[in-house]
């Protein structure tokens, strides 16, 4: 049913993941370089140029967000819902792997100062919420199985 607590957890997870698309993740050298979900851009003299595209990051964030929303509607198939939440956990952890790849390997090391924005915490919160949803789905499945055993 849609009024279960795991629905709220999954919806909040999708909401937090969607905010990643609209706010920058890193700022380098006093906001001269800004990394967001779509590109690393450099702002000089009021002109913004794209240094490189981070479109795979945006695709993974959108995939995780959509998977959270799709998982909500499989409330009658709890085993499938548990599997989808585990896949979503893996995808969200992939966001951090890709972010660390962009931060440490793609961006030139001459960029010295790195400022982490508040949006970097959202995937961590999303992982926690997805894990809590998975545990509640498992609790529901165990309850249904115990009731079936009694009959």
- Please give the residue that has the higher pLDDT: either 77 or 50: 77
Q: Is the pLDDT of residue 107 over 60?
A: yes
- Report the number of distinct structural domains present in the chain: 1
- List the end-to-end C-alpha distance of the chain, in Å, as a whole number: 23
Q: Is the pLDDT of residue 124 over 70?
A: yes
Q: Which two tokens stand for residue 26?
A: 């890193």
8 Å CB contact between 54 and 101: no
Domain of residue 29 covers: 5-150
Dihedral pair phi/psi, residue 108, rounded to 5°:
-60, 140
**Whole-number pLDDT of residue 76:** 85
How far, CA to CA in Å, does 118 sit from each of 26, 121, 123, 125, 151?
9, 6, 11, 12, 51
Q: pLDDT per residue over 52-70, tens digit each?
A: 778 888 899 999 999 999 9
What CATH number does residue 34 fall under? 1.20.140.150
Q: What is the mean pLDDT of residues 101-123?
A: 74
Q: Which two tokens stand for residue 76?
A: 């009658």
pTM confidence score: 0.84
Please count the other Cβ atoms lying within 10 Å of the Cβ belonging to residue 134. Answer: 22
What's the mean pLDDT when you consider all of the chain?
84
């Amino acid at each position: 049913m849609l009024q279960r607590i795991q629905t709220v957890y999954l919806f909040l997870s999708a909401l937090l993941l969607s905010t990643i698309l609209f706010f920058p993740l890193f700022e380098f050298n006093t906001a001269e370089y800004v990394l967001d979900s779509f590109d690393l851009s450099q702002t000089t003299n009021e002109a913004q140029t794209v240094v490189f595209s981070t479109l795979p990051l945006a695709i993974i964030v959108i995939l995780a967000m959509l998977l959270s929303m799709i998982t909500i509607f499989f409330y009658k198939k709890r085993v499938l819902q548990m599997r989808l939440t585990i896949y979503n956990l893996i995808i969200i952890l992939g966001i951090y792997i890709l972010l660390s790849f962009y931060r440490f390997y793609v961006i030139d090391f001459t960029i010295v100062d790195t400022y982490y924005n508040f949006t970097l915490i959202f995937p961590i919160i999303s992982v926690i919420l997805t894990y809590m949803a998975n545990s509640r789905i498992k609790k529901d499945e165990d309850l249904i199985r115990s009731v079936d055993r009694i009959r």
